[in-house]
Amino acid sequence: MTDKKVAVSIKDLSVEFSIGKSMFGKPPILTAVGGVSLDIPRGSFFGLVGESGSGKTTLGRATLHAAPISKGNITFTDSKDRVFDLAKMDRKEEKDFRRRAQLIFQDPYAALSPRMTVRDIIAEPLEVMKLTKSRAETDERVREIAARCRLNVEHLRRFPHAFSGGQRQRISIARALVTQPSYIVADESVAALDVSIQADILNLLKSLQRDMGLTFLFISHDLSVVAHTCDTVAVMYLGNIVEVAPPRKLFAAPRHPYTQALLSAIPSLDPDHQSTAIKLKGEIPSPVNPPAGCKFHTRCPHATDRCRVVEPIMRGDAEHKVACHLVDLPVLAQSTATQSVSA
């Protein structure tokens, strides 16, 4: 069950990378994540969506201490209420954190070593972290988590090439869960699978979340998948969170112009439905030289002079928050109403 405690708290987080070299002065800085504040409730299935290059993966990896924290802070609270400050962890704390937070990769074909059996792949985190005292204990843990992920005992003796994409992803999920973590980042974990297999893996993840009390950060570009799976959805654009809401509210009444454009692009199953997709002008700006003010103003059809100068802050009620200067203007309200009807 989801409680009101926060598993991952992100405060004013920025992740920056130096790129290239410069003969004079400092090298160019790429801001992958800029000033993000977000709380992921314990036991929730939290969705993160946005275009390619918006910073979704970098944000997810930062919450796993796998990307540098340039500014701000991330704190992780495990199921026993132990708090980890990711910006200040020493080596021992990082080792303890690693077993409590894991990643499910996007590509099940590239994520598994072709030279290891399934048993060895799943057991590797236990052996590297020295979480079991004997091979018998390791095998027992491997068989237990394999059964939870709907893998048979005979599968453990085989190599990854003998499995389909869906089976390989179940192996990847078993490897992530074998250390008994409480927080999982699933980075486009069903994007490489067929639609029918996607549904099977999503149902498995939801079942594991309920049975094991897991907290998921589910990163995806597929809005239909997010609507089916997640409790809360955050929309990301150019390193910033622009809107956060439960799926039912986000899909029924999106408030940010970028969210409206994303949702309007979802194809309809009705052959008689006339497309009302909002066409955004231009390309997503470079994170090396992001625009001032609202990052979306260069593509927003409603942008004003204020949008070009002043960066909007996140505001709204406890469930639905949006970072936009225009949410109270009639023109945007009308756009929202039109989108709600078409959706």
- Strands 6-18, 29-41: pairing kind: antiparallel
Q: Which pLDDT score is estimated for 338?
A: 42
Q: Which residue type is seen at 58?
A: T
Contacts of 88 (CB under 8 A, 6+ apart): none
User: With contact defined as beta carbons under 8 Å apart, do 260 and 338 qualify?
Assistant: no
Sort 213 into a burial class: Cβ within 10 Å, 0-12 / 13-18 / 19+.
middle
Task: Return the closest-CA partner of residue 187 out of 57, 58, 59, 39.
Answer: 57
How many other β-carbons are positioned within 10 Å of the β-carbon of residue 28? Answer: 14
- 157 - beta bridge partners? none
Question: Phi and psi dihedrals of 291, rounded to 5?
Answer: -70, 155
Q: What is the pLDDT of residue 329?
A: 59
Ordered per-residue pLDDT tens for the chain, 343 residues: 344 699 999 999 999 998 877 666 778 889 999 999 999 999 999 999 998 889 999 999 999 999 999 999 999 999 889 999 999 999 999 999 999 999 998 888 888 999 999 999 999 999 999 999 999 999 999 999 999 999 999 999 999 999 998 999 999 999 999 999 999 999 988 887 888 888 899 999 999 999 999 999 999 988 888 888 899 999 999 999 999 999 999 998 899 999 998 888 776 655 665 557 777 877 888 888 899 999 999 999 888 999 999 999 999 888 899 999 988 755 455 454 444 433 3
Q: Which two tokens stand for residue 117?
A: 């059996």
The Cα 37–Cα 33 span in angstroms is 10
| Residue from 205, 196, 217 nearest 173 by CA | 205
pTM over 0.85? The answer is: yes
Q: What is the pLDDT of residue 340?
A: 42
Which residues are registered as beta bridge partners of 183? Answer: 101, 215
**CA separation, residue 310 to residues 122, 209, 260, 334 (Å):** 50, 40, 21, 24
Which tokens sit at 185?
A: 């980042």
Count how many Cα atoms sit within 13 Å of the Cα of residue 301 in the half-sphere of its side chain. Answer: 12
Taking CB atoms within 8 Å and a gap of at least 24, the contacts of 144-153 are 145/174, 145/177, 145/178, 146/118, 146/122, 146/174, 148/174, 148/177, 148/208, 148/211, 148/212, 149/173, 149/174, 149/177, 149/204, 149/208, 150/204, 151/118
Q: What is the pLDDT of residue 268?
A: 61
